[in-house]
Amino acid sequence: MVSRPAADISRGVSGVALGFGIFLVALYVVPSLGPVARLVESSAWLSEGEVTQLTLLIVSLSLIYPLGKGKVGGFGLRGATPRQILVPALTGMVVAFIVLVLSSVVMMATAGPPEAGSADPPMNGGWPRFVLSVVFLASICEEVFARGLVLGYLAPLTRYSVRALRWRLSAPVLVSALGFGLGHLCLLGSMDTRMVVLIVVNATVLGLLAGYHREKTGSILPAIAVHMAFNIVGGLLAYLSTAAEGVG
């Protein structure tokens, strides 16, 4: 008979391996497949990033049902009340504004020559594309993966937790948030390293807040609301910053 600590370690390791493996397949393997690459090349609205997002969603939904033995509620696939969605969304906007403004301050304080190949290419399609791809698609797909599949799989480890002020953050929340943040290291080489580090930190904060509300309500919807709030605030701040530079 396997002891509880050994079983918990096994669950934790397999959960991290599961999330990491799916992420690598979605990020590198699927977009490089011939038919997919040709589809992306011929499409004005489908990018490799969106292929990755959709892969995360499809694989996560495909695994949630068998892993939950038909009970998908344990993976957050259940409803939520309007208040359970609105409060996290508003909280997400406030937290996003604070961390993103602080990030801007850090970037200005550590200003230096841009790194080679670090430019962040503009998104074709403007605001309609941003809303569809970043606000909706990315938020839904990434949350179903990180706070749905991964956090749900690690749910047996909920009894392990730490306290941050008055908030209890369980091991599944911490692991899914840290993994989500570190996943953004894939941006290295395509963006300024300082910006990537700040994105990792901000994404981890987003993950902690989304995971907290996901676990508190039992639903993935509040986590999606938090993610959307972060992306909306980030998009607006980026737009205002670009507009200010244009005026200057």
Round to whole Å and give the CA distance between 123 and 130. 7
Round to whole Å and give the CA distance between 217 and 88. 10
Q: Where are the domains of the chain?
A: 4-247
Beta bridge partners of 167: 164
Q: How far is CA 190 from CA 37, 80, 196, 211, in A?
A: 19, 38, 9, 28
pLDDT at 120 over 60: no
For position 112, what pLDDT does the model report?
A: 62
Tokens (6 digits) for 199: 């994105």
For position 5, what pLDDT does the model report?
A: 84
Considering the entire predicted model, what is its pTM? Answer: 0.92
Name which of 29, 23, 48, 28 is nearest 38 in CA terms: 48
pLDDT at 93 over 90: yes
Q: What is the mean pLDDT of the chain?
A: 90
Which residues are within 8 A (CB) of 194 and not within 5 positions of it... i.e. 6 or more apart?
106, 107, 110
